[in-house]
Structure 1
Amino acid sequence: MSEGEHSSLRTRLRNALLDLDSRVDSGLFRLGDLTRRAIAAYSAFMERFSLSGIPRFLVGMASEGFTLGAAGTVLILALALPAFRETSDDWLKRTELAVTFLDRYGNILGERGVKQNDTVPLEDFPDNLIKATLATEDRRFYEHFGIDVAGTMRALVTNARAGGVRQGGSSLSQQLAKNLFLSNERTIERKIKEAFLALWLESRLTKSQILKLYLDRAYLGGGAYGVDAAARYYFGKSVREVNLAEAAMLAGLFKAPTKFAPHINLPAARARASTVLDNLVDAGFMTEGQVFGARRNPATPIDRRDQAVPDYYLDYAFGEVRKFVETLPKSVNERSFVVRTGLDPNIQLVAEAALDQSLREFGKDYKVTQGAIVIMEPNGTVRAMVGGRDYGESQFNRATDALRQPGSSFKPFVYTTALLGGMKPNTIVVDAPYCNGNWCPQNYGRSYMGSIPLITALQHSLNTVAVRLGDKFGRSNIIDLAHKMGINSELKTSPALPLGAAEVTLVDMATAYSVFANGGRSVYPHAMVEMRVGDGEVLWRFDRDAPKPKQILPQNIIDEINPMLNNVIENGTGRRARLQGIKVAGKTGTTNAYRDAWFMAFTGNYVGGVWFGNDDYQSMNKMTGGTLPAMTWQKVMAYAHQGIELKFIPGVGNAPAPKLEETPNTLQVPGLEANQRPVTLSPKAAEVLVRLERLFKEASPLPARPAGPTASAAPVPNRAN
């Protein structure tokens, strides 16, 4: 192509682009002109509707109202959706979980969950009970729409003046919503859900239906759900038969069933009932003359003080059952179960008495107010559990839910890691000043022993040696081992980890020590031994369905660590826990500032853990794990080992235990004759009898009883082991 042809092509291309640009500019100009004319025409048209003065103000307010209303609707829907997710299509027909618990011999221990009783119609409830309930819980029940705005505002003002919570603002509908769908956690989220669910209930049920559900489903203490169950438990009669004084006491339980339960604190229950009578008069439901007789003759409940119920144990077992039920296939519609547990009622009584006696005798001197005990078999069957000093005062289970620092009772995991790393009990280690960065741990006596065998270092619970071992063999390896052995809580890799600076639960520590006691196998901690449905069908059995144990620690490691732990008891910090003629292995634990004191130990038969401390983490008066915890452990185990076939600790052998120089103080336990444990069957023999009973029932033409293995296993209530 010549130069002239190139020039002609460029000219044509330039002209085409200029033409396109002019067309775009012309089009945009015409579009802008049309838009301007349209806006002018629209403005001219809208001028006809121009407002001024008050009409303009009202239109503006309405516009803002619509805007805010739309935004508020979106916000309300966002808040309501989480609440409505708590409901289901069958919420009214759905039954709650109800469990009857048996001890290891088949005797009834107690119940947990809700056994619904809807058989008493609302019109059969005494008028004075309904009035007492409404006067105390929700006087405007028949007037509000689910949320008592006036009552809520009144409660806010009262609480603000008092500087604390003195009056509740929840309506009866809100309380029912909480009982049906929500937990008892005190959070703003729960209160929001509660309010929306109250409105939801009001839109679907009548006031009478809501009141009936509230009276049938509310927890009123003593394991009783609903006023009819409470009337039978506290007064031994149907709710139809309660008088005004009894109705006032029942109505007073809705606010705090445990605090005002008459079988726990009768004076508080009667004081609360008197407040209910005041409410009846203040609300205008009754006159002072009508309530005078109830004031003069307050209700007298059935005396249940001698009916010892292992509530902490039952709470633990019920939590275990709830987790198991969640794993059942949807085809299993049964919600009522009978569960045989591993609880030994006599060991439980002794454990409760030992904790109470220790706190009564030494609590003031040591400045300690709480404690907890767990006793289990080496296979993980929990035989006794005490979660605190008084279940009536506090239902918080310190054995399962309290995360506390274990102190030196954590050191066996450190020493076991060292043994796995190649050390031996006679390996020489150095006890001398040692620092990890700016942190320099010291021994309890602030002295050092120099070069000593590993077994001696554990015997004297030397801190510097434990920290050196942690740095040498890796704190992450110690954590991995502790988790494998049964510690479920988070363990942080801090320099102080080998000294027990992490937080654990007592039941987890007992589980981990069970690995030492059973020869190094994994442990599945459990209260539930067998679960049956109402018709007797076995859903779960520990020996058949529980996870099979795995070998966690080699036998040669068990043969090394257990003699070291036995040496701690016989020659070290745990001497107060020695048993006459029985080998014991274990470890004491004391934390900084004496906030926690532990004693963890085991024999060939049982593993036991004892913890003492204060709920508010206040320091005790120099209590160590080798003092009151070890002494309390010794009292329980001395009884538990009476009349049973003794087993040897793996790795320790059958060498005789050293003779005690003096006999420890005996424990006086009401209800246990002569405080001597009767000679009883071994666990295997007891299990054989239970299976024989099951075979006899299956062969019998009569239907199986719903309670599962019961009286034939052990008709004597004072049996043990």
Structure 2
Amino acid sequence: MAQGNGRKPLVADKRNYAGGKRKPAAAKTSGRKPTTGKRRGGFSLLGLFRPRKPAPRPVRKKRGPLGLLLAPFVWAFRLLWGFTWRIGMVACLLVAVAVAFQYARLPEVSAYLDGRARGSVTLLDRNGEVFAWRGDQFGGVVRADTVSPHLKNAIVATEDKRFYQHFGISPRGIASAIRINLREGRGPLSGHGGSTITQQTAKLLCLGRIYDPAEWENERAYEADCRKSSLWRKGTEAIFALAMELKYTKDDILSIYMNRAYMGGGAYGAEAAAQRYFGKSANQLNPAEGAMLAGLLTAPSTLAPTNDLKRSQDRAATVLRLMQEQGYLTTAEMTRFQNNPAGLSEAAAARAGGYFADWVMDSIPDFLGDQTTEDVVIRSTLDQRLQRAAEEALKYVFENKVREGSKAQAAIVVMSADGAVRAMVGGRKTRVSGVFNRATQAKRQTGSAFKPFVYATALELGYSPYDRVLDARYCMNIPGSGQWCPENYTRKFYGEVTLARALRDSLNVPAVKLSEAVGRDKVSRVARDFGIDSDLAAGPALALGASESTLLEMTGAYAGILNGGSSVTPYGVNELRLVADSEALMGASGGIGERVVRTEAAQQLVWMMEKVISEGTGRRAQIPGWQAAGKSGTTSAAKDAWFIGFTADYVAGVWMGYDDNTPLTGVTGGGLPAEIWRETMVRVHEGLEPKPLPMLEPAPIAPPPQPTRRERRKRQVPNLGQELGRAVDNILRDILGN
């Protein structure tokens, strides 16, 4: 009988049933369903306070020896799995939150298409053709659906062949990269990264971080920070890549990549690289050209075709093979383009403009040049035909007339009479950039090349080329230095000579005497007014070129003689403007200035200098069919040799010497420099009609008037009265003297 509190009786009823077995007590019928041996589902608060009947334990099967041996491992696996799936769920949740956060921060695609930190400078020649680039060149936005399909296919085949299948990261690629790195003896994250194009784009975007001068010392430090490789960095990069995959389409991501990737030679993006190397738009590239650009992505500076064209072509051949393996090209197409690799445009082959482009960049303000944040276009004075002429002339002379292995250097400047520089060679290595420019940076003694300014001063003061000066031993006492006696190069003296002959034969003594006669201060002033800004010697050696100057200065000064006596400022910029503007920010950076000497004096000096080439020390500079004028110069111990001269159309200057001031062997200004000058000017004047020099032959000096017959007779017949008077005077002088 049940107790009133609902609990079972402590003593069960003892009843016998047929069969000798106890029947179970009948269930109570107080409105509840009978219970069963199974546990009821659901949850009740009352169940927390009601004691429950323990569930029957399952009958365990006996384990064999193998089961006992594996039991610890099974237990460990279950424990590990329990932790793993819980931690995995938490990690996935955190990744999802991070991806959502990055997704919310991503801007529209257009904001990421041009990520340069600075602008570009495009240099045009006098005809408007591009010949050089500086800064971060960006040719314009390209998109995956408008760019050449050959470039697009080449990039995918080379950088990420499963780009259109994965979701931003490639576990297979990462595992393969780790395996290769370990096999090659590097760390798992060193070397091959296994990055997808999406991850590479994330790196190019610096994971959305913008350059801040307060955070990074300079742009180089910013870029280095963006390229760091660590486990944390890789994880952050993967999250950013996943967010990009959610935000943008595959073609959007590829477009960002093609616009921001550095492709060598200062070119950022496919359009700039296509213009830089091939002189065409990125939508016009053939498979060989597309393969070459795609091949640069691995190592843009090293593989740039302007650095090593053969190496770049070999890399492009590998890219073409990958394109064939992935079905973008047929075998016949691959073979054809491998046998006909991409070449460089004429401008690209010039290696970014060389010495001339460097000089132009140094002559403009930094905020419009190396440090510009805008895209700048400069129309320059360069004539690419004349530039090739100068380069070929220098190469010809050194290959044929200079001993093999010589370390001697040379420089050439060609300009118009108004100072517009048309060609510039700053050293024997002509296809270079960013190196020492001997035409503009080397200050060397000028030697006899300075003498025309002595004679220009004298002619301005009224001297005639036919005036005479005595070429004989001549000494001066120099305060603090003692006696100084100039000598001619031949160690001989030639007596009384005209000024014209003294300049023609480059005699030293007449030049010094004339300088002292007209005044050194006047000679210095004329030289400075003609454009020689370097410090000029204060002593009498000024007349012999003891002062230092650059080849550019000296050539510009000679241009002043050619143009009729007006100074010139050598210049290389005709116009500078921003790409987005139609009006120029700057005009010509030089040109003709104030008059220095009279036109008549300048033209008489041209006449005298023409004799130097036609009859004097500059005979080796003669140009068949052309009148030419000039002057050679050789310094003491032959450390420097010069030849500067002009025709009616162009002025050219040549310097030759060693960078360390080692004396030249057997070289004078009238020798190899004159030959380099002639070879240059012959090429410069190809196809031009000869013109006479603007020279003026001076009027001959009239001989003294001849005495008349009566005067001659008076001289022959002695005057007896005068003779008697002189005799009386002598007698009286003798008497008084005694």
TM-score, shorter chain, exceeding 0.5: yes
Equivalents in 2 of 1:603, 1:203: separation in Å?
Answer: 54
- Matches of 1:116 and 1:449 in 2, distance apart? 66
Q: Determine whether 1:314 maps to 2:357.
A: yes
Output aligned runs, 1:38-437, within 5 Å. Answer: 96-115=118-137, 222-224=265-267, 249-250=299-300, 252=302, 263-265=306-308, 302-304=342-344, 308-309=349-350, 310-322=353-365, 325=368, 335-364=374-403, 367=406, 369-392=408-431, 395-435=435-475, 436=478, 437=482
Amino acid of the residue matched to residue 118 of structure 2? E
C-alpha contact 2:295 2:312 (8 A) present in aligned 1 = no
Amino acid corresponding to residue 458 of structure 1 in structure 2: L
> Structure 1 residue 538 and structure 2 residue 578: aligned?
no
Q: Which residue number corresponds to residue 582 of structure 1?
A: 626
Q: Which amino acid in structure 2 is aligned with residue 603 of structure 1?
A: T
Residue by residue, what CA displacement relative to the aligned partner does 1:169-222 show, whole Å, maximum 9, x if unpaired? Answer: xxxxxxxxxx999xxxxxxxxxxxx9966999699989689x99xx99999864
Distance in 2 (CA, whole Å) between partners of 1:245 and 1:423 is 70
- Alpha-carbon distance between aligned partners in 1 of 2:561 and 2:533, rounded to the nearest angstrom: 17
Residue equivalent to 1:473:
518
Whole-angstrom distance in 1 between the partners of 2:591 and 2:463: 32
- C-alpha offsets along residues 129-163 of structure 1, whole Å, 9 cap, x if unaligned? x999xx9xxx99x99xxxxxxxxxxxxxxxxxxxx
**How far apart are 1:411 and its partner, in Å?**
0.9
Tell me the CA shift for residue 578 of structure 1.
1.8
Give runs of aligned pairs for residues 552-591 of structure 1, distance below 5 A: 552-591=596-635
After TM superposition, give the deviation of residue 599 of structure 1 in Å.
0.8
Is 1:441 matched up with 2:486?
yes
2:533 to 472, 488, 501: 488
Cα distance, 1:603 vs. partner? 1.6
Compared CA separation, residues 374 and 392, structure 1 to 2 (3 A)? closer
Letter in 2 for 1:111: W
Residues 365 and 621, structure 1, Cα contact 8 Å, conserved in 2: no
Moved more, 548-557 or 350-359: 548-557
Q: Distance in 1 between matches of 2:464 and 2:695?
A: 14
3-state SS in 1 of match to 2:557:
helix
Q: Which runs of no fewer than 5 residues in structure 2 stay unpaired?
A: 1-113, 144-154, 162-173, 191-210, 241-257, 279-284, 316-337, 699-738
Q: Which moved more, 1:430-439 or 1:479-488?
A: 430-439
Shift of 1:233: 5.7
Q: In 2 relative to 1, CA 223–371 (structure 1 residues): closer, same or farther, beyond 3 Å?
A: farther
Q: State how far apart, in whole Å, the 2-side matches of 1:112 and 1:514 are.
A: 30
Q: Tell me if the contact between 1:595 and 1:613 (Cα under 8 Å) persists in the aligned partners.
A: yes
Corresponding residue for residue 553 of structure 2: 508
Gaps of 5+ in 1: 1-91, 144-178, 182-193, 254-260, 273-297, 655-721
- Distance verdict in 2 for CA 1:631–1:450, change over 3 Å: same
**DSSP 3-state at the match of 2:566:** coil
Once residues 112 and 240 of structure 1 are traced to their aligned partners in structure 2, the CA distance between those partners, rounded to angstroms, is 23
Amino acid at match of 1:338: V
Q: Deviations over 1:461-507 (max 9, x none)?
A: 11222223333333333222222111122223244322222221111
TM-score scaled to structure 1, two decimals? Answer: 0.55
- From 637, 641, 655, the equivalent of 1:611 is 655
- How many Å apart are 1:252 and its aligned residue? 4.6
| Contact 2:292/2:313, CA 8 A, preserved across alignment | no
Q: CA separation of 1:103/1:432 partners in 2, compared to 1, >3 Å: closer, same or farther?
A: same
Query: Deviation at 1:238?
Result: 13
CA distance in 2, matches of 1:221, 1:457: 56
Per mean C-alpha deviation after superposition, the further-off stretch among 414-423 and 561-570 is 414-423
* Cα deviation, residue 628, structure 1: 1.8
Q: How does 1:7-46 map onto structure 2 within 5 Å?
A: none
Contact 1:432 1:450 in 2 (8 A): yes
The answer to whether the 8 Å contact 1:429/1:452 transfers is yes
Bigger CA radius of gyration: 2
* Contact map agreement 2:117 2:373 (CA 8 A) in 1: no
Q: Report which structure shows greater RCO (CA 8 Å, sep ≥6).
A: 1
- Structure 2 distance, partners of 1:619, 1:474, is 32
TM-score by length of 2: 0.54
Q: CA RMSD in A?
A: 5.2
1:407 is displaced (CA, Å) by: 1.4
Q: Which amino acid aligns with 2:344?
A: R
Name the SS for the 2:575 alignment partner.
Answer: strand
| Partners of 2:131 and 2:457 in 1: CA distance | 41
SS at match of 1:340: strand
2:544 to 469, 483, 499: 499
Query: Number of residue pairs matched?
Result: 477
* Aligned-partner SS, 1:372: strand
Q: What is the rounded CA distance, in whole Å, between the counterparts of 1:534 and 1:469 in structure 2?
A: 55
Q: By how many angstroms is 1:127 displaced?
A: 9.5
TM-aligned CA distance change 1:340 to 1:266, over 3 Å:
closer
CA distance 1:355–1:241, shift in 2 (3 Å): closer
Instruction: Report the Cα offset of residue 306 of structure 1.
Output: 6.1
1:402 Cα deviation after fit: 1.6
Counterpart among 657, 669, 694 of residue 650 in structure 1: 694
